[in-house]
Structure 1
Amino acid sequence: MDNYKQMLAFIWAYEHGSLSAAARIHDMTPSAMSKMISRLENRLKVRLIQRGTRQLTLTEEGQLYLESARKVVIAMAEADSLAEHFPEQVSGSLRIKTMPTFARHQILPWLPEFIEKFPNLQVEIKIESRYVDEFEKGIDLAIYGGKLPDSSRVTTRLGTSEWITCAAPEYLNKYGVPKEPKDLLNHRCFHFSYMNDWNLWEYEHKGDRFSLPIKPLASFSQGDFLRDLALDGQGIVRLADYNVSKDVQNGKLIPILSDYKIRELEPIYLIYPNRKFLSPRIKTFMNFWMEKVKLNPWNVK
């Protein structure tokens, strides 16, 4: 940046006819203006201004440098002007990492609209159930729920989600409806295949919070497989409402043990590397998706 300031000082001195005039107009002292130009000449190892004349005169090298310096300043101004329009002209690649079920139910339905609105932006979505920081590998943005590991990354709460214990009407008609959480120990249940807080089937009763040691008949790493089992009438699952809210609305899945559900909602976060100079690509996606999330019935504040 010092090099750029030296270049500007040189241009100003020439355009205003003298060091003192340029210094006065740009709120500098003549001494400071002279020092900046001297540093420029020392750096370039060439004399740009003829000393000892009453009027500021450029050397032959100074005239050549002036032409190039003006092109640099014009290019910088054009770049700054272009930046004002980045949201409308956003392009390049946007690499997102998120949970499989969230991608399927909360990104995929809106993705065609986003692509149509920003056709020059290529979206790459990486699917992984558990959050692992991969920003050093080129990820621009991550979307995950629940408790996140401590880090220097910036998080913005996208919304909240509730975990719903549910089963298909066919299953409940055949095996009965659990009246209290401990009844689940005698039912066909399915959960995730890896160690995670999501496998803690937690409930509340009269202010006391507790979890059950569920022993699943089968387990999967992705929630949609558990959802499919439940829809097929095979058993009971506990899944996020952004995964099953539509199934509950149309009666394909029935929430159970609602009197025992915990009141604490799970936050869903947008995660990005840092807050300063956030890429227009990331800003565009964040603004678009945060508006879409407001339309979702599961997004309880």
Structure 2
Amino acid sequence: MDNYSQMLAFMWATEHGNFSAAARANGLTPSAISKLITRLEDRLQVRLFQRGTRTLTLTEEGSAYLVSARAVINAMAEADSLAEAFPDRVSGSLRIHTMTTFAKHQILPWLPDFLAAYPGLTVDVQVGPQYVDLFDQGLDVAIHSGGLPDSSRIARKIGESAWVTCASPEYLARRGTPAQPNDLLEHDCFNFGFHSAWNTWQFRDGEGGIITVPISPKAVFAQGDLLREMALSGAGIVKLAQFHIGEDIRQGRLIPLLTEFSLEGSEPIYLIYSNRKHLSPRIRVFRDFLEKRLKENPWA
């Protein structure tokens, strides 16, 4: 086991470039990392690193050892991942951060089945409208849409969702249906209450260009579900994500508007996790459950 710890310390130091960064990333002290690698070098009777003031450089022997060490670490991780085949062995707490509407409409419907399948697992679902990197605070998985900041995190695309301008049949019967984008200026519209690209109402202008309609919302809300409730009540027009209101559209509770002017393309939705080469079983089973659910129940 000590040999394996030495090998892990060597891999961490190689990945992070120095003992201090490797120690911080793995909950150890720099001296502990240094001692493990020194023991490894003594055991192998070779020097694996040229130690600089701030960085480490692999020696020729270190580069050769890296190939073998990586194969061993990969094999160990693959063996550990077999825990997925035994639901009672997938345990611990899974911390998730996502949009409130995604949690309500795309996770909660199947979450009871997921928890029943993995009785040793507990789930902590945190919500917020925009992506915040909380992985250093123990977050396991984030699910968010749109553009993401550059980082070392892994973003796995799990779907796409268009934004849909819509209203209820009752509102349209009372106020009429807008025929072109600028007609929205004469209607009651509602928007998000925070700064976001979601608040920009853009359409094609019929000549290949893009126009932005400067709507003046009658009210703004911090959550998409409140906008949805306003639309369902017949109060006015909203713009919401397809994953959020797909079922309302299928059931005729909301009617898409200005579809001939809609911009082409959809907003990507990502499953984000920390930059780890091998996922823990709890993250992997959640990912697989989610992707299976989305495949069986597409929101479009």
TM-score by length of 1: 0.72
Once the two structures are TM-superposed, the CA of residue 85 in structure 1 deviates from its matched residue by: 2.6
Once the two structures are TM-superposed, the CA of residue 82 in structure 1 deviates from its matched residue by: 6.2
**Structure 1 stretches of 4+ moved >3 Å:** 1-6, 78-83
Question: Partners in 1 of 2:269 and 2:80 — Cα distance?
Answer: 34
Deviations 1:129-185 (A, max 9, x none): 111111011110000001111111110001000111100111001111000000001
User: Match of 1:234, SS?
Assistant: coil
Paired residue for 2:106?
Answer: 106
User: Match of 2:296, SS?
Assistant: coil
Paired residue for 1:294?
Answer: 295
Paired residue for 2:24?
Answer: none
Once the two structures are TM-superposed, the CA of residue 290 in structure 1 deviates from its matched residue by: 0.6
Question: Partners in 2 of 1:5 and 1:195 — Cα distance?
Answer: 47
Are positions 1:116 and 2:112 aligned together? no
Once the two structures are TM-superposed, the CA of residue 275 in structure 1 deviates from its matched residue by: 3.9
Preserved CA contact (<8 Å) 1:162 1:298: no
Same amino acid, percent of matched pairs = 49
User: Match of 1:214, SS?
Assistant: coil
Aligned partner of 2:201: which letter? W
User: Match of 1:290, SS?
Assistant: helix
Question: Partners in 1 of 2:97 and 2:151 — Cα distance?
Answer: 17
Preserved CA contact (<8 Å) 1:87 1:280: no
Paired residue for 1:44?
Answer: none
Paired residue for 1:16?
Answer: none
Paired residue for 2:176?
Answer: 176
Preserved CA contact (<8 Å) 1:190 1:219: yes
Aligned pairs for 1:122-271 within 5 A:
122-204=122-204, 205-271=206-272
Instruction: Rate the CA distance shift 1:174–1:92 in 2: closer, same or farther, 3 A.
Output: same
Greater mean deviation of Cα atoms: 262-271 or 275-284: 275-284
Number of residue equivalences: 231
TM-score by length of 2: 0.72
Deviations 1:98-124 (A, max 9, x none): 000000000000101101101110011
User: Match of 1:84, SS?
Assistant: helix
Paired residue for 2:283?
Answer: 282
Deviations 1:190-245 (A, max 9, x none): 01000101001111133212221121100111100000000000000000011111
Instruction: Rate the CA distance shift 1:147–1:80 in 2: closer, same or farther, 3 A.
Output: closer
Aligned partner of 1:288: which letter? F
Once the two structures are TM-superposed, the CA of residue 87 in structure 1 deviates from its matched residue by: 4.5
Preserved CA contact (<8 Å) 1:164 1:239: yes
Question: Partners in 2 of 1:80 and 1:187 — Cα distance?
Answer: 58
- Structure 2 residue runs of 5 or longer lacking an equivalent are 7-38, 44-75
- Structure 1 residue runs of 5 or longer lacking an equivalent are 7-35, 41-77
Paired residue for 2:273?
Answer: 272
Once the two structures are TM-superposed, the CA of residue 295 in structure 1 deviates from its matched residue by: 2.0
| C-alpha RMSD of the superposition | 2.3
Are positions 1:84 and 2:110 aligned together? no
Once the two structures are TM-superposed, the CA of residue 278 in structure 1 deviates from its matched residue by: 1.4
Once the two structures are TM-superposed, the CA of residue 2 in structure 1 deviates from its matched residue by: 6.8
Question: Partners in 2 of 1:147 and 1:4 — Cα distance?
Answer: 39
Question: Partners in 2 of 1:135 and 1:262 — Cα distance?
Answer: 34
Preserved CA contact (<8 Å) 2:232 2:254: yes
Once the two structures are TM-superposed, the CA of residue 84 in structure 1 deviates from its matched residue by: 2.7
Question: Partners in 2 of 1:268 and 1:249 — Cα distance?
Answer: 21
Instruction: Rate the CA distance shift 1:81–1:183 in 2: closer, same or farther, 3 A.
Output: closer
Instruction: Rate the CA distance shift 1:84–1:182 in 2: closer, same or farther, 3 A.
Output: same
Preserved CA contact (<8 Å) 2:155 2:271: yes
Preserved CA contact (<8 Å) 2:247 2:299: no
Question: Partners in 2 of 1:170 and 1:80 — Cα distance?
Answer: 56
Aligned partner of 1:249: which letter? R
Question: Partners in 2 of 1:216 and 1:144 — Cα distance?
Answer: 25
Aligned partner of 1:134: which letter? L
Question: Partners in 2 of 1:264 and 1:193 — Cα distance?
Answer: 25
Preserved CA contact (<8 Å) 2:94 2:123: yes
Preserved CA contact (<8 Å) 1:188 1:217: yes
Instruction: Give the greater-gyration-radius structure (CA).
Output: 1
